[in-house]
Amino acid sequence: MQRYQTVRTEDIEKIHQISLKIMEEVGVIFSYAPAREILAKGGAKVEGETVYFPKGMVERELKHVPSSFTLHARNPEKNVEFNTEETRFVGPYGAPFVMDLDNGRRPGTLDDFIKLVKLCHMMNNIDVQSHISCEPGDTDADTRHLDMVYNTLKYSDKPLMGSVLGYEASKESIEMAAIAHGGLDAIKDKPVIISIPCTLTPLSYDDKMAGAIIAYAEYRQPQLVNSLCLAGATSPATIAGSIAVQNAEILAGIVLAQLVSPGTPIVYSASGSSTDMRYGNLSIGAPESALFSLVNGHLAKYYKIPCRISGTLSDSKQVDAQAGYESMMTLMMAQMAGGNFILHSAGILDTYNCVSFEKLMIDDEIIGMVKRIGRGVTVNDETLAFEVAKQVGPRGEYITNKHTFAHFRKEFYQAQLSDRARVNQDGLTIEERANARWKKMLEEYVYPALPEAIDTELQCYIASKR
């Protein structure tokens, strides 16, 4: 549910119309020949690698996109429904570096990857495992996607994401997920893995991402069609102009997916922000990032498609005050915008480049706070508590009243890390408490057993691809 709008509905219609004009008159590059062939058969004009989309074609294909779908987990109790109303939280994605208090910043390894999968499995606020919890740089890059899908399936029974590094890698991710769900025939109309193919801004798709869109659509598996524009660098410096370009890119990918298989589940995924012109860098902790989120959420509601928005983002290189205020701002705006799939819900530092184990825990606290705010306020005779106020009277106290004991556990968010005591009782900083918490969680981790037959089949599959 969108709780705040920064533009009017008529402004959203203007953005939509300009996006359609960009698609029809400027076009979008698809370097992948199979994608151009599919789009041409669907009614697009193709000149070289540039594809021009007629307005009617785009609006026709948008009508095929479902407004909801269920992403199935290895454990059916952890299936997740995605729709245009509810908010779901997803782990960190794509960082090549990791960091913790004990070992500092370093390139990610498979051991770090598995630890992050285990922690996200243990975190009640995380609904879906990402594909690249961190980049396991000590594995073979050509088959790394197999290692990541396997270890995510093995160490967590939550839903998961898959590779988008080309048609074949995408297909292999889907086939591995299918092994855990009864085979390819069993998943034809059963989403079991979700991906995030990304545009090459401005206005293009490379071979790998277009191939990924086709692969996931062929198997009718959901995908977040994503654009990360850098306002002032890869898109106009004005937020409205950037969003119009970004939207054109996303719609082009959605049209491709629907032409491959009408009704393929889609999450509208826009993650653009501003460029810091002093350094030429993307800034994900900027207030413009929050404005992008609000407008993108509005656009997704206009299209009646579930919406991806990024979560606790920060440009800070440390778990510090900057990381805290940027992360709360971006996650709060993600919820206010009506985001349904919150990627990077926890752990991200350094403009997507690093995952911090301590920040993962601190962001879990922030998610809990934001979820509490999202629940809102219930107003009825019981919660208005007139009889209680009458019983207690002026200058009375409520702390020992039965009504208080009946309601406070549900009404008040119970902090896990925040220091709310009158004095600092443990003498620790929040980062130190977070360090102790993630270590304790790993000690308490219980392996969600992967059936031996499935494990063996997955390992044989991986061996056949190496």
Structure-token pair, residue 229: 């524009």
Q: Which domains does the chain have, with CATH numbers?
A: 63-375 (3.20.20.480)
What integer pLDDT is reported at residue 73 of this predicted model? 98
pLDDT above 90 coverage of the chain, percent: 96
What integer pLDDT is reported at residue 178 of this predicted model? 98
- Is the model's pLDDT at 248 over the cut of 80? yes
What integer pLDDT is reported at residue 425 of this predicted model? 78
Nearest-5° Cα angle at 280, 276 to 285: 35
**Tens digit of each residue's pLDDT (9 = 90 or more) over 258-313:** 999 999 999 999 999 999 999 999 999 999 999 999 999 999 999 999 999 999 99
What integer pLDDT is reported at residue 4 of this predicted model? 81
- Is the model's pLDDT at 92 over the cut of 80? yes
Cis (ω within 30 of 0) for the bond into 66? no
pLDDT band at 2 (very low <50, low <70, confident <90, very high): confident
What's the one-letter identity of residue 119? L
pLDDT above 70 coverage of the chain, percent: 100
Average pLDDT over residues 12-22: 98
What integer pLDDT is reported at residue 244 of this predicted model? 98
Average pLDDT over residues 92-112: 98
- Is the model's pLDDT at 40 over the cut of 70? yes
- Is the model's pLDDT at 422 over the cut of 90? no
Average pLDDT over residues 340-357: 98
- Is the model's pLDDT at 1 over the cut of 80? no
- Taking alpha carbons only, the member of 100, 78, 94 closest to residue 360 is 100
Hey, how many other C-beta atoms are within 10 angstroms of the C-beta on 395?
Answer: 5
CA–CA separation, 233 vs 286, rounded Å?
A: 15
- Is the model's pLDDT at 199 over the cut of 70? yes
**Cα 168 from chain centroid?**
23
Average model confidence (pLDDT) for the chain?
97
What integer pLDDT is reported at residue 372 of this predicted model? 95
- Taking alpha carbons only, the member of 146, 143, 147, 145 closest to residue 114 is 147
Cβ burial, residue 41 (10 Å; 0-12/13-18/19+): exposed
**Tens digit of each residue's pLDDT (9 = 90 or more) over 152-194:** 999 999 999 999 999 999 999 999 999 999 999 999 889 999 9
